[in-house]
Structure 1
Amino acid sequence: MFRSQNFSILLLVLFLAPNSVTVNCRCTDKCGRIKIQFPFHLKNRNLNENATYLPGFELSCNDKHQALLKLPKVPSVSFFVKQIDYKSQQIQIYHPNNCLASQLLALGNSSTSPFRFISPYYGGETSYNNVSFFRCASSSSYSCPILQLDSISDIIDPGILSCTKVRDVLSVQWRFTYDDKTSLFLGWSNPNCGQCEAQGKKCRLKSDGTKEEIECFLCKTNKISTSTLVLIVAGTIICLMLLVLLAFAMYHIYRYFKTKGEDQDRIEKFLEDYRAMKPTRFTYKDIKRITNGFKESLGEGAHGAVFKGMLSKEILVAVKVLNDTQGDGKDFINEVGTMGKIHHVNVVRLLGFCADGFHRALVYDLFPNGSLQKFLAPPDNRDAFLGWVKLQRIALGVAKGLEYLHLGCDHRILHFDINPHNVLLDDHFTPKITDFGLAKLCPKNQSTVSMTAARGTLGYIAPEVFSRNFGNVSYKSDIYSFGMLLLEMVGGRKNTNVSGEEIFQVLYPEWIHNMLEGKDIHIDIDNEGDMKIAKKLAIVGLWCIQWNPVDRPSMKTVVQMLEREGDKLMVPPTPFDSTTSSSRNNNNAVVPSRHLNFELEVIPELE
C-alpha cells in the first residue's frame, strides 16, 4: 500500500510539474543583497536579449559583490548602492569608508540626470544648499581626508581649524540629515514604474513605443528541466519516507508518554489538591513508587510502619502503611475524614491516602526531626534535651493544636491518643499533632461521647475511659493525656513501665507533685528562668490530670496558663494521698477539690 501511494504521488508530480512548477524569475538579477530589475541593469549581463535598456541606469558589480552606480555625465564619480526601492523609486547611496564627501566634491553642482538628490525625511523634496569642502591631514581626527560642511550649520567642529578649505559649492541638491551623514538618497521620475510595482507586476518599455512609454507585465517563467524534475520527485519520496519514520517515532513517543500519563495526571491532581488543601487518593502502585519500594523506614508504631517518600524534588513525605487491614477499616476512614477537615499550624496535614484493596496508607508531610519521644530526656542529657524555652514552646503549640481540635472546627474533634509519639517536630521544632486513627467527632454543644471500649496509649489514658466511676468520657480525656505529656516533658522519663504498667501511671504524677512540694528529689536546674518554666509546666500538667474530669481546665484555659507567668499558678491538690484528698496540709478545713477555683475555668459535664 505504501509503494502504491508513492507511485501515485510520483505520477501526480510528473503530470503537474510542467504546468505549475516554476524556477527563479529571469526578470530580475542580484548583486550581493541588491535586487536589480528595470529600469536598472547590470553591466555586461543581459537578462533578455530583446530588452531595451535606458542610459544612466547601468550598475556594475565588483568582486566584493557591491553594486556601483556611475552617473552618465560625470563618469569619474561612482556611488555605492545600499538599497533600491522600486515602489517609491528611490536609491540609497553610500561610501564603504564613510567618505561620501570625496565623491560629492568631484560631482560639485553637475547634473545627476536622470536622478536628483532627494530627502526622504522631508517628503522626498529636493532642497538646495551651499557647502564647503575641506582637506584634512591624515593625522586629524576625521576618518575621511575630505570634509564637507554646510553653510547653514550653526555648529563648527573645532577640529576643522587644522584643515584647509578646498572649494565652496553653491546650490547643491544634497543635504545630509543631522543623524545620518553617511548616506544620501537619489530619486528618479522617469520611467515611472511605481504603479506596476504596486500591482505586483514588473515594468518594461513598450517594444513598439517611445522610450517614455512603459507597460506592466507578469514576469514569465521557465519550465523545469527533466533533471530538475527527477530531483524534485526523488526529494518528495525521501521526504515522505522521513515523514513515515517521524510518524512511527512519534507513535512510540506517544505510547511512552501515554503509559506515563496516568502518573503525571495523578501528580497534577495531587498538586491541585495540595493547593486546595484536599487529600489525594493514591493507588498502592503510587505508594510503592513514592517510597521507592519502601526502601527507607522511618520507624514502626502500633498501627503500622512509616516510610520516607518523595512526591517531587521539593516535596518529601512520610508514608504510614497500616498493618491492620481486617474488618471494615473504620479507623482508617475515620482518620482520613477527620484529617481532611483540619488545617492548623500545630496539626499535621494529611496530603493523601491509599485505600486499594487490603492496602491502606496515609501520606503526610515529612518532619526530619521525628517525634517528641526521642527528645524526652533529663536536663543533664545534653545530647537529647531541647532546653526549657523550647520545651515550653512545644507545649504551648500542642495546647493550641488541641484547642483548635476542640473548638476551632465545625465539629469537636476528640483525639484520644495524645502522647509523645504522636507529636511530630518540623525543622523549627514546631509541634504537629498526628495519628487520628482513634479520633471521634461530636457536635460542639455536646461534651460527652459514648465509648464501647477503652482507646489510647497506656499511661496517657484518662481514668474515666477505663471506668465510668470517674465520670463521663469527654474532651476532658484529651486534656488528661496532654497533662501526662507535660509531666513527662518535665521529668524527662517515660510514662510507662513494663515491670509495673498498672501502677506507674499513678506513681509518676505523684513524684512530680512531691517534687513541687519539696518532698522528693528535685530536678537539677541552675537557671532561675528555666526553673520557673519547669515549675509552670509541672503545675499545668497536674491540673490537667485531675481524676475528676470536672476539675480539669479546658484547653482554652490551658493555653492561657501556659502563656502567663508561672508564679501566678497554684499547685493543685494531690489525689494520691488520702490525707490530702480531703484537706490541704496547710489548711485544716475540709474543702472538696471540685469547688476550688484557682483562677481556672470549671467546665460542667453533661450527665
Structure 2
Amino acid sequence: MLRTLLFAGFAAIFLLLLLPTTCKAKLNLHRCHSSCGNIPDISYPFRLKDDRRRCGDRKYELACENNRTILQLYSGRYYVEEINYNRETIRVVDTGLKKDDCSSLPLHSLTDANFSYGDPYRLSYKTSDVNFVDCEAPINSSLYIDMAPCSRNSSSNSSLSSMQTYSYVVVRHMALSDLEDSCSVGLVVGFSTTGQEIDNSLPDIHNRLLYGTDLKWFNCFGFLCTSCDTLYFPHSVLAVAAKIFFGVPCVLIFLIYKWKRRSLSMYCAIEEFIQTHNNLKPIRYSYSNIKKMTKGFTEKLGEGGYGSVYKGKLKSGHLVAVKMLANSKANGQDFINEVATIGRIHHFNVVQLIGFCVEGSKQALVYDFMPNGSLDKYIFPEKEEYISLSFEKMYQISLGVAHGIEYLHLGCDMQILHFDIKPHNILLDKNFTPKVSDFGLAKSYPADHSIVSLTGARGTRGYMAPELFYKNIGGVSYKADVFSFGMLLMEMAGRRRNLNVFAEHSSQIYFPSWAYDQFNEGKDIEIGDATEEEQKLAKKMVLIALWCIQFKPSERPSMHKVIEMLEGKVDQLQMPPKPFLTPQEV
C-alpha cells in the first residue's frame, strides 16, 4: 500500500510540474468574449450556448433569449443582472418576478439547501432569507408581513392550496421555533444585502428580490485551479524545488488520509456526509444534550427494528421525540436519507426534523413531538386508551396524508419518493393533523425523472408496489408511493388490515378483492353502525384506494389526481378495473 501511495504521490508532483505549460495553453484556448443584453462581457469561465466549442466552461453555460441573459440552475431559470469577475459573483433574479408588480413571486426556492459539495456555484455569504409562509389562521406578529396588499396570483406557490390560507413574508433566517403553529414555509429565497436596512414593506422586499441574489462561482479546488487565472508557477529551479519540497509530503498526507477514510466504518461515512452538507438546517446536538433532553432516556414512546423512540424536552420547553438508531443500514444510509431529505423541507403534513446527533456509534434524530402517536393505533386499536376516530376525521387524515405525499413528489426542487407509506409512518399531532414520517428508505431524484433506478426492492410487505418485484409491468416511479397510499387508504376505510387470515368468511380474507366484488355486484360495504354519510365517505375512500392499487403503474392516478378525487363527490367516481393482485401474491 505504501508503495502505491508513493507512486501516486510522485505522479501527482509530475502533473504539478507540467501544470504551468498546460495552464497557459488552456488559458489561450478558453479566453473568448461574448455579450447579451445588459451583460456586455461574457468570458471565462462563462460561455453562451452558441459560442465555439472551446470557449468557457460548460458547467457555466448561459443562454441569450430575447436579449436577456439566462442562467439555468437546477430546475429554475434566472435572469443574469451582473457578472463581477473581480469578486467572482454572478447576480441573478428569478424569472417569476416582475417589475412594478409586487404580486409576482419567485418560482423556485434559492437557499444554501439548493447547493451541495462540488457544485459550480455557492450562495454568497452576504445574503438574507425571504420566507414565503402560508398559515391556516391570521398571525399577529411583527415578524410576519401580511401579503394581502399584494394578492398571491398563483395557487401553485401555496403548499396548502386546497385550504383557506393567509400569506405572509418573513425576512430572516427562520428556525423551527420562529414558525407559528399551523404555518408552513412554501418558498425561501436568499437576496443580496446592500448595506441598507429593510423597512419591512412589501414594495421594498419586492425591490430587493428584483435586485437579485449573488452566487459565487469557484474556479479552484485544492491545489488545482480550473480557470488557470490564479495559478502560475514561474519556470525556475527554485520554484520546482519548492514544489517538490512542499508538494510531496502534502500529497502523501492527503492520499494516506483519503485511504484511511475509505477504510473507516459507516460512522465516518455519516460524518463525511454532514461535513460536505454543512448547509443543513437541522441542529446538530451532542450526545450529552440528547441525554439531558430525554432525562437519561426515561420515557420510551416506542420501539422497532430501527431502535427506540424517547420523549424529550428542549430548553425552550418544546416537546420532542428522539429516535435512537440501533441497527443502521450499510454505511448509515437510513440516517443519511432521513437528514438529507426531511432535513431540507418543511410542510404542514410532513414531520419536522429539528436536529440530529452523531458521535461514533451513537446516532439520534430529534423530531417535533406528536402527542397522538401513529395512525396504526387508531386503525387497529389494541388498547382502550386509543379513541375511535370518526369517518369524517379519518377522511380528513387521508386528505392530509395525500397533500404531504404530493408535496414530496411535486413541491420540492427534487422529487422525493418515500417508499414506505404505511399507518405506522403517519404521525398525528395534538389536533390529529397527519404528518408523513420515517424517510429512512426515501430516495431523491431530479424532478424530470419519470422512471428511477433502484438496486433492490424497498418498503414494507403489504404496502409495496408490484413493480418493485415484477420488472416487466413498468418502471419504478412515484406511482410506487401511490400504490402504498392506496393500501393505507383501504385500511383506513375498512378499519381493518387488508390481509386478515382470521376473517369470518374466506371471501373477506383479502379486503380489497372483497370490497371490489361488493361494489361490482351493486352492494355497499356495511361497516358497523356508520351513518349514511359515513357510508358514502367509506365508499369514496375505498373506490379511490382501488384506483391507487392497480397492478400496472400507468393505470394509477397521480397524487394530485387523488386529491381531486378525495375532494370531489362519490357519484363522480368511476368504477376502477379489478386489481390483479390476489391474496397469495400479496
TM-score (norm 2): 0.49
TM-score (norm 1): 0.47
Higher relative contact order (CA 8 A, sep 6+): 2
